Amino acid sequence: MEGPASPAPAPGALPYYVAFSQLLGLTVVAMTGAWLGMYRGGIAWESALQFNVHPLCMVIGLVFLQGDALLVYRVFRNEAKRTTKVLHGLLHVFAFVIALVGLVAVFEHHRKKGYADLYSLHSWCGILVFALFFAQWLVGFSFFLFPGASFSLRSRYRPQHVFFGAAIFLLSVATALLGLKEALLFELGATPQPRRTKYSTFEPEGVLANVLGLLLAAFATVVLYILTRADWKRPLQAEEQALSMDFKTLTEGDSPSSQ
């Protein structure tokens, strides 16, 4: 009788790429806070600074935490699948709650100032991303954490879940880049000089924000690279292999080729 399968060793380069992704992600969060503190007056809820809650929460929630949630299955490759699922789901919950705070902050700020809502490409993309993120979490919970879904249904939906998870993450980063550019143009895009903006004179705020944008793109690239390396995927555990074989037997048992 065979004993339990030994844990598969982690690929040698994987921990370094994961560590690099975390360094990039934390730097993005820190630079976002530094940008808001140095050039936008800081963060507060009950003041004109309420708007600044929005970019910080969105970067923490829909960029950093969402990226980390996607990496859970690469980092915890040999832990119990149920535990990994719960951690994956919880990180998405934290990301959703933080992003919701950021969304409320910007709508509250617009209401207090009398600004229009949802007129820019950034705002349209933001609402789309938030709705897709919430729908993805609900469907993922129903299929993979709620005990009602069958194994065959999970197997058929899993590729779509993986694809849309990565797609929503990339859309989140793209939306953050749009918002960053929009904020710079609002602040640095007006000057008494004709045909010239402060942004084009290499203002320190513009330079810092450009670096922040490059770091956002780099974080997304590293996360996507880790996710798409086939040899870095979580190995099938014994119980998953058994379920897979059972499903294959059930589906092939009634096929003409098996007669």
The span from the CA of 53 to the CA of 34, in Å, is 13
Torsion angle defined by CA atoms of residues 111, 114, 120 and 125, in that order, rounded to the nearest 10 degrees = 0
Residue 253 lies in a domain: no
Residue 65 lies in a domain: yes
In the prediction, which pLDDT does 77 show? 87
Average pLDDT, stretch 5-18? Answer: 78
The span from the CA of 133 to the CA of 161, in Å, is 11
User: Which of 84, 62, 16 is CA-nearest to residue 173?
Assistant: 62
Average pLDDT, stretch 159-175? Answer: 97
Residue 241 lies in a domain: no
pTM: 0.86
Phi, psi of 159 (to 5 degrees): -60, -40
Tokens of 251: 């589906």
Phi, psi of 104 (to 5 degrees): -60, -40
Average pLDDT, stretch 54-80? Answer: 95
- What's the CATH code of the domain at 43? 1.20.120.1770
Domain count, the chain: 1
Residue 52 lies in a domain: yes
Q: What is the span of the domain harbouring residue 32? A: 14-232
Matching residue, tokens 């100032």: 113
Residue 203 lies in a domain: yes
Q: Does the pLDDT value for residue 131 go beyond 80?
A: yes
**Per mean pLDDT, which range of 154-158, 161-165, 240-244 is the poorest?**
240-244
Residue 221 lies in a domain: yes
Matching residue, tokens 């690469």: 74
Half-sphere exposure of 99 (CA within 13 A, CB side): 25
In the prediction, which pLDDT does 47 show? 87
